[in-house]
Structure 1
Amino acid sequence: MPVAFSRAIDNVPDRGGWSPLGRGRTELMPELDQALTIEERVKILLDVVEPGERVLVCTHDNPDPDSIASAFALGRLLEAKRGCTFTLTFGGVLGRAENRTMVRMLKLPLVPIHRVCFDDFDVVGLLDTQPEVTNHGLTPERTAGKKMICIDHHPTRPLSKEAAFADVGGDFKTTSTLLTRYLHAAGVEPDRELATALFYGIKSDTRDLGREVSDDDLWAYSHLVPRTDMPAVSAIEHPPLPRAYFTVLGKAIERAKVYESVAVCDLGRVYVPDLVPEVADKLVSAEGIRWAIVVGDYQENIYASLRVGDRRYSAGKLVREVIKKYPTGGAGGHGSMAGARLPYSERTKSPRGRTRARRKFLRELALATGLSAEVKAERFAPAPMDDNKPAPKNGAGWGPKTSASHPRVDKGSTIARAVDPKASTAAPNGAPPKTAPKTAPKTATKAATKTAPKTATKAATKGAPSTSKPSASASKRSI
């Protein structure tokens, strides 16, 4: 079970001006690491937030549906139970077409973080990430003197325990599941937009409940189904895609390499960072691939995404171990999926330098999977067939091996009857088969017979039932 944390301001060490509780709160909440029920956590949360306070709820950068939905749910919860006003904000971009469609169709009030005046808020919430991860815009300077709320399903980071309220880690596989539990425990009924957002957050983060789910995720999913706008979910999952997306996808297939069961790809520059995890999702779905590792270049940063299709391995643990070598980088994730962001150093300003830096990072991630450095690379996909070259002999690469001039024809099939008018056709109700009509034009019969392959004609004639009466000897033998 996840644990809820709340600490007195006197017990919080100085972290560069970041004061999670703020406003001199000194009441001590339940002890650290004490397992609490959902109802107890909600009560602690509502005790931390004063009625009427102004709340800023922040997602992680380049937010996914789980982060967006859970942030929206926290705002609605505090609005309903504490009369708070809230603002949703995000850093980075809404790059993925599905995410943009979700925000537009559900009319979610997301505001870019550069438009936010932090002096206007008393409380800041951080959803689906944690302060230490650095993939968000809540810097110590921006949050100084404000109460911090942190809710995340990813593994616990030390600094999260310093927040006025933190519910992190545990068995929940999505943050949307945790917020659905919060709403239910508080008696807040989600409207259609909020329910649809939470449902899609769970659906997308677990890949339709097929990836790392708990009993709580199953409960939340089924709880939200009757409250969800399913046509909206379908529209979100199948949005119009920009043409540039297909350019990146084609480049990914062309550049991807396979080392045993590890697929790797350097996308180079991408127009949105969300393309990196999207390509990783597609590569890991290929037959025989256990790991997919993709890197890309976006606005002075290397973005990396890892996917693993084997539950014995943890992508989050792997990427956190590798990123320790890079003090300026940040990483996060869990069992089957993880990501990292690494700023370019001062020595990598040239295009060649950036390419070397990306591929060095890609190599380190690949070797961390246990891959041997001696393994040779293979193309991810075979080279496309040249349409200008003649068809391969014996149908190689085109399906069953049959002669190009004499296609395989089943006896008595419609193809056999088409090429051989003498082939018999079965009569209904088990009646004896009839031969082809004698009224057929001779010219058509000759033409069809002339153009039919000999092997097909023989096969069809041999397989056609005889219309002559059985001889007496044959009758005696059958008796």
Structure 2
Amino acid sequence: MSNAAAVLTRLRSASSLAVVCHDDPDPDSLASAIALESLARTCGVETVDILYGGSIVHQQNRAFVDLFDVTPRRYSDARLEANELVAFVDHSVPGEHNQVPRGTPIDIVIDHHPSERTVPSDVIDVRESYGATATILAEYFLESELELTPRIASALLFGLHRERLDFYRQPTDREYAAAAALHERTDPERLRELYGVSFLPGSVDAFGDVIHNRIRQGSCLVSCIGRLENRVALAQGADFLLNIDGVDTVLVGGVIRDEVHLSGRTTRPDLDLGESFGRLFGDRGSVGGHDDMAGGQLPLEDVAGTTDAEDVLVERLRDRVGRRFLDAVAGDAAEPDA
């Protein structure tokens, strides 16, 4: 039995399903969630709850929810337990990047990220060789010949584009094949509107600080900023800085409330960024990721003490996080990037 057939068979056994996205869900996670919801309803599942922890603050993620009529609900144990089946999309282990208690049994897991922990699920479709979970869901539709509506095709195409193709983050042949198959089924107007959404004002300010505060060591670049409203600008800044000529690895850090948030990117084939984050910062907070993207949160007091002075805060982050990262993954002396 194929993975798609196993998932469909499991869906046909229940009348309700909770689809759990990871915390702060991105387009890959959201697209995969509504694609699985569509499959579930085709299989006769009457009730589908899409659940998430964290927040949806990135301007394109918020626009995605609006334009694709997604109705995600804040995670709670009660909402999870109210459904017969539980599915994870774009993550795999309870308690890692989600609010689900560790050890909770899961019925279906669909993901492309590697995990060092055992995945506690009846039906497991984890394809580490794939670049996006949306690609896996697209193949479910294409292999089963189930109806692929313009809404779902557009969502999946946007999800795999944002995960891999837009920034050329090690896409596989499967991403290109899925994109080609989805393209003719999409709603072009909806996609154009989604790509044209604007930045939040606070993100623009923080984004400017990310650019201004950058320092470079060889092909590695770091930027540490002070306090910001949400971590959207950190990921956006990391994506942007990776486009600088000669730069192949980026770390951006900033402070949200009582935590230091980190966002990293690399195109180096010899560097596993998730492993590097774990080795450098795993003993100080919650970090993780995979070979080309990583992120995490560190307790602010552990990293920078209790200072309220913004310039002191930035300098401590640069010394205790940024330079530690540069020394570990780069070679030459760090200097401001002109």
Alignment of 1:36-51 (within 5 A): 40-49=2-11, 51=13
Task: Tell me if the contact between 1:130 and 1:157 (Cα under 8 Å) persists in the aligned partners.
Answer: no
**Residue of structure 2 equivalent to 1:53:** 15
Measured after TM superposition, the shift of residue 82 of structure 1 is 4.3
**Residue of structure 2 equivalent to 1:89:** 51
Distance in 1, matches of 2:241 and 2:209, equals 13
Q: SS state of the match for residue 125, structure 1?
A: strand
Task: Tell me if the contact between 2:210 and 2:252 (Cα under 8 Å) persists in the aligned partners.
Answer: no
- One-letter code aligned to 1:298: I
1:260 matches 2:218: yes
**Residue of structure 2 equivalent to 1:363:** 323
Task: Tell me if the contact between 1:302 and 1:358 (Cα under 8 Å) persists in the aligned partners.
Answer: no
Residue of structure 1 aligned with 2:85, choices 99, 105, 123: 123
Measured after TM superposition, the shift of residue 123 of structure 1 is 1.9
Distance in 2, matches of 1:213 and 1:255, equals 30
Q: 1:346 to 1:337 in 2, by over 3 A?
A: closer
Task: Tell me if the contact between 1:276 and 1:305 (Cα under 8 Å) persists in the aligned partners.
Answer: yes
1:338 matches 2:338: no
Distance in 2, matches of 1:262 and 1:174, equals 26
Q: 1:216 to 1:303 in 2, by over 3 A?
A: same
Q: Structure 1, unaligned stretches of length 5 or more?
A: 1-38, 382-479
- One-letter code aligned to 2:110: I
Distance in 1, matches of 2:107 and 2:173, equals 29
What RMSD, in angstroms, separates the aligned Cα atoms of the two structures?
2.6
Measured after TM superposition, the shift of residue 164 of structure 1 is 1.6
1:293 matches 2:237: no
Measured after TM superposition, the shift of residue 329 of structure 1 is 1.3
1:218 matches 2:176: yes
**Residue of structure 1 equivalent to 2:116:** 157
Query: Which of 150-159 and 168-177 deviates more?
Result: 150-159
| Identical-residue share of aligned pairs (%) | 22
Measured after TM superposition, the shift of residue 104 of structure 1 is 0.7
TM-score in terms of structure 2 length: 0.89
**Residue of structure 1 equivalent to 2:200:** 242
Distance in 1, matches of 2:36 and 2:267, equals 32
Q: 1:253 to 1:345 in 2, by over 3 A?
A: closer
**Residue of structure 2 equivalent to 1:104:** 66
Residue of structure 1 aligned with 2:24, choices 37, 62, 77: 62
Q: SS state of the match for residue 131, structure 1?
A: coil
Q: 1:346 to 1:256 in 2, by over 3 A?
A: closer
- One-letter code aligned to 2:329: T
**Residue of structure 2 equivalent to 1:113:** 75
- One-letter code aligned to 1:331: G
Distance in 2, matches of 1:191 and 1:360, equals 50
Measured after TM superposition, the shift of residue 129 of structure 1 is 1.6
Distance in 1, matches of 2:118 and 2:323, equals 30
Distance in 2, matches of 1:84 and 1:185, equals 24
Task: Tell me if the contact between 2:260 and 2:300 (Cα under 8 Å) persists in the aligned partners.
Answer: yes
Q: 1:72 to 1:349 in 2, by over 3 A?
A: farther
**Residue of structure 2 equivalent to 1:431:** none
TM-score in terms of structure 1 length: 0.64
Distance in 2, matches of 1:308 and 1:147, equals 32
**Residue of structure 2 equivalent to 1:329:** 286
Residue by residue over 1:376-397, the C-alpha shift from the partner in whole angstroms, topping out at 9 and shown as x without a partner, is 412x34xxxxxxxxxxxxxxxx
Distance in 2, matches of 1:205 and 1:238, equals 17
- One-letter code aligned to 1:87: D
More strand as a share of residues: 2
Distance in 1, matches of 2:298 and 2:85, equals 29
Query: Which of 239-248 and 227-236 deviates more?
Result: 239-248
1:177 matches 2:139: no
Q: 1:320 to 1:188 in 2, by over 3 A?
A: farther
Residue of structure 2 aligned with 1:198, choices 134, 137, 156: 156
Q: 1:363 to 1:191 in 2, by over 3 A?
A: same
Task: Tell me if the contact between 2:223 and 2:251 (Cα under 8 Å) persists in the aligned partners.
Answer: yes
Residue by residue over 1:144-195, the C-alpha shift from the partner in whole angstroms, topping out at 9 and shown as x without a partner, is 4x543222111133221x2222222431100000111122223322211111
- One-letter code aligned to 2:18: L
Higher relative contact order (CA 8 A, sep 6+): 2
- One-letter code aligned to 1:183: F
Distance in 1, matches of 2:250 and 2:38, equals 37
Measured after TM superposition, the shift of residue 137 of structure 1 is 1.5
Q: Structure 2, unaligned stretches of length 5 or more?
A: none
- One-letter code aligned to 2:180: S
Distance in 2, matches of 1:230 and 1:135, equals 32
Distance in 1, matches of 2:134 and 2:113, equals 12
Q: SS state of the match for residue 255, structure 2?
A: strand
Residue by residue over 1:210-244, the C-alpha shift from the partner in whole angstroms, topping out at 9 and shown as x without a partner, is 33122221111011101111222122112122322
Measured after TM superposition, the shift of residue 339 of structure 1 is 1.9
Task: Tell me if the contact between 1:156 and 1:168 (Cα under 8 Å) persists in the aligned partners.
Answer: no
Task: Tell me if the contact between 1:133 and 1:331 (Cα under 8 Å) persists in the aligned partners.
Answer: no
